[in-house]
Amino acid sequence: MNNNQIIIRLSQACETSEVLSKHIGRVTGLIDAENFAKLMNNLGIESNPRKPKESAVTREINDTLKESPERFHLMSKGILVSSSSCVTLERNRFKLDFENNGYAQPGILDGGHNTYAIAKFLLGYVLDDDGIKKIKDWESLIPVWKAYHEQLSDLFDNTSDENGSLEFKFVIPIEIIFPRNPDDDETLDFWGLSHRDITHARNNNVQLTDATKDNHQGFYDYLKQSLPENIRNKIEWKTNDGGQIKAADIVSLALIPLSRLPKDVIGNEISPVKLYNSKQYCVESFREILEKPGNGNWKGQTYELTNPAIKSAIDLVSELVDLYDFIYEKFPDAYNKAGGKFGRIEGVRIYNDQHTNDKKYSKKPFHTKYYGRETEFQYADGFIVPLVVGLKEIMELDDQDKVKWLFDPKAFLTHNIANILGMYSSIIKFAKFDPQKIGKDKGSYEIVAGAIKMSASNYNKSK
């Protein structure tokens, strides 16, 4: 038996017949703490779209395990596990294989928070309170589990009889799904597609975001690769990942260069207003573009982008992230040079460590959204989103229909942002300095687009 295989024992196990599903098998039953620990040694969370972490839910699970262990199987839906193969043995024992067969990532599909809470509860028998308090999420749980699981095994050996552990009075509902014939191509193809659908269907009851689902399916794989590591690591690609930036924010930036591609590549025209006021629209539009025939294909349950034109557009997102912060930094000064008084706008806050009693001022500097660069002002994104979206006017298609910059965008902005604000500031005043109205007004984007086109034409002539 290799390192990816384990044998676990269930109680009251039931296996569905091939009549219900020709390709996918399903075993349900109850698993005790000792066999759960065996499973935990091999399980991964990669197949689950969410990462479990400490929450009110996990604390309630812990309370039930402490106070009413004999009722836990009645109060919990348990865990759903996928394995690459499952062999039925005698006495309700099952040999499971968790090696990735390339069609589906085995592991926990649903019940990640149950798994996290139960594992942490068991570790409480071999760790002191300080050690338990340090466990806050899946990432901090796993190294502790690896370090102490042998002590747990010893505990089970000393407190068990033929009916299982005497120390732990709870059992956990478990469901195992697997391809019936792991050597059959038709079965594996069906398994790969079904695995993805099952995962998302089971997680719908926790309001899993579409961005998290799309990330899990691989729609963001190329986008991730295009970003600098320090930015990529700040993004919450997966629910409960702990990222500071929502994946939908990056997706909305990606739609800016994508909007320059021909309609036969992207389909419907991309609305600039909705890039600001509907992150759901951004997520759905990005997925629809990638799903268009000819833009990519599926490898098992994972999407792979293949269209070079779309890749060229996504390649510009890394610069757009930097330009977003650059515009945020330069906008107040450019607005002032255009005749405005930015600091006087209601809702704008100013860094000044000499002012301590006025809410308009802060004793600490502010920071840009992505790179965290220090800024003097803090203000709503609605003021600058039309400018960021307007950068598509200095993008063009080359002779291979790939998106590229007309010229260095940062150099262009450095030279022209004050002139662009000279035209754009009129709509800011017309909107009575309300960033929400500005961001949601189609006219804001049209004026900025016109200003950037004019500046680009003059800038091109001067070069």
- Residue range 50-82, pLDDT digits in tens: 678 888 888 899 989 988 888 899 988 899 998
**Residues of the chain with pLDDT > 70: what percent?**
91
Would the pLDDT of 455 be above 90?
Answer: yes
Q: Kindly list the distances between the CA atom of residue 121 and the CA atoms of 43, 149, 174, in Å, as whole numbers in the listed order.
A: 17, 13, 18
Would the pLDDT of 47 be above 60?
Answer: no
- Residue range 430-451, pLDDT digits in tens: 889 999 999 999 999 999 999 9
The reported pLDDT for the residue numbered 50 is 63
In 255-317, DSSP assigns E strands to 296-299, 302-305
Mean pLDDT over residues 39-43, rounded?
84
The reported pLDDT for the residue numbered 357 is 66
The reported pLDDT for the residue numbered 195 is 73
Q: Kindly list the distances between the CA atom of residue 452 and the CA atoms of 191, 384, 387, 393, 436, in Å, as whole numbers in the listed order.
A: 51, 14, 9, 7, 22
- Residue range 82-100, pLDDT digits in tens: 898 899 999 999 999 888 7
Would the pLDDT of 161 be above 80?
Answer: no
* Helix, strand counts (H, E) of the chain: 20, 21
- Residue range 177-226, pLDDT digits in tens: 998 888 888 887 787 777 767 776 676 544 446 777 788 788 999 999 99
What is the sign, positive or negative, of the torsion defined by CA atoms of 452, 455, 458, 463? negative
- Residue range 282-324, pLDDT digits in tens: 999 999 999 999 999 987 778 999 999 999 999 999 999 999 9
Contact, 41 vs 149, CB < 8 A?
A: yes
Place 382 in a pLDDT band, splitting at 50, 70 and 90. Answer: very high
If one compares 1 and 363, the residue with the highest pLDDT of the two is: 363
Would the pLDDT of 33 be above 50?
Answer: yes
Would the pLDDT of 407 be above 90?
Answer: yes
Place 17 in a pLDDT band, splitting at 50, 70 and 90. Answer: confident
Cβ neighbourhood burial of 268 (10 Å; 0-12, 13-18, 19+): exposed
Which residues share a beta bridge with 110? 80
Contact, 224 vs 356, CB < 8 A?
A: no
If one compares 453 and 354, the residue with the highest pLDDT of the two is: 453
Rounded CA-CA distance 220/246 in Å is 13
Would the pLDDT of 162 be above 60?
Answer: no
Place 115 in a pLDDT band, splitting at 50, 70 and 90. Answer: very high
Residue holding tokens 């629910």? 239
The reported pLDDT for the residue numbered 166 is 47
Rounded CA-CA distance 290/320 in Å is 20
Would the pLDDT of 396 be above 70?
Answer: yes
The reported pLDDT for the residue numbered 204 is 53
Mean pLDDT over residues 369-388, rounded?
94
The reported pLDDT for the residue numbered 206 is 46
Q: Kindly list the distances between the CA atom of residue 243 and the CA atoms of 220, 236, 325, in Å, as whole numbers in the listed order.
A: 15, 4, 18
Would the pLDDT of 462 be above 80?
Answer: no
Considering only CA atoms, give the Rg of the chain. Answer: 27
Mean pLDDT over residues 377-400, rounded?
95
Would the pLDDT of 428 be above 60?
Answer: yes
Mean pLDDT over residues 145-156, rounded?
87
Average pLDDT, the chain: 87
